[in-house]
């Protein structure tokens, strides 16, 4: 997480978001989405904060977070590489794409590189089946990916990061 001042700012933003919701019934998932968007992941600190603001026990919040695969309690890399493992991508070779990323980054699916540049994970269908196999890096979708392009894709991200 960034500096203390940065954190303060983010908490203020989360506070504003929570205050803007008129009907707080059922707002938990929307708040968690917003929090994860701000922080990149849901730390204990964030969970306790949300718990206090929405008056929901933190145990219940943990229950919700662990249920949904979209939420994460682990810090993630600057680039989150999501290999689509939907059926259309699967039959067009998504497994090989995933293996190549694992090999190139030297991590397993679900892990992050030590320098926290990359996190590798699988995803169930982003609905761009016409472009199978598909890889999504942060918000950018790469379609018709081939194994020998992967090195270049990673290099592209690394260059951009500099």
Contact positions toward other proteins, by CB under 8 A?
25-30, 32-33, 63-64, 67-71, 85-88, 90-92, 123-132, 134, 139, 141-143
Nearer to other proteins, 60 or 114 (CB): 60
Dihedral sign, Cα of residue 130, residue 132, residue 137, residue 142? negative
Buried b / exposed e along 108-141 (16+ C-beta atoms within 10 A): ebebbeeeeebbbbbbeeeebbebbbbbbbeeee
Q: How far apart are CA 93 and CA 106, in angstroms?
A: 20
Nearer to other proteins, 132 or 157 (CB): 132
Q: How far is the CB of 147 from other proteins (least distance, A)?
A: 8
Structure tokens given for 141: 């979708």
Name the residue nearer to other proteins (CB basis): 29 or 161: 29
CA torsion, ordered 53, 59, 60, 62, to nearest 10 deg:
90
Question: What is the token pair recorded at 92?
Answer: 């067009």
Residue 78 C-beta: closest distance to other proteins, Å: 19
CB of 100 to other proteins, least distance (A): 11
Instruction: Tell me whether residue 38 or residue 141 sits nearer to other proteins (CB atom).
Output: 141
Structure tokens at 114: 């030590």
- Closest to other proteins by CB, 8 vs 138, is 138
Least distance in angstroms from the C-beta of 158 to other proteins: 21
* Closest separation in Å from C-beta 120 to other proteins: 16
């Amino acid at each position: 997480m960034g500096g203390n001042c940065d954190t303060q700012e983010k908490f203020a933003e989360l506070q504003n978001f929570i205050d803007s919701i008129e009907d707080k019934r059922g707002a938990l998932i929307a708040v968690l989405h917003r929090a994860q968007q701000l922080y990149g992941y849901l730390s204990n600190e964030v969970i306790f904060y949300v718990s206090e603001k929405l008056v929901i026990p933190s145990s219940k919040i943990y229950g919700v977070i662990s249920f949904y695969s979209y939420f994460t309690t682990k810090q993630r890399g600057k680039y989150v590489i999501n290999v689509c493992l939907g059926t259309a991508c699967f039959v067009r070779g998504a497994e090989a794409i995933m293996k190549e990323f694992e090999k190139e980054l030297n991590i397993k699916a679900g892990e992050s590189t030590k320098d926290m540049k990359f996190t590798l994970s699988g995803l169930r269908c982003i609905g761009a089946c016409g472009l199978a196999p598909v890889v999504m890096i942060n918000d950018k979708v790469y379609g018709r990916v081939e194994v020998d392009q992967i090195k270049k894709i990673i290099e592209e991200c690394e260059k951009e990061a500099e």
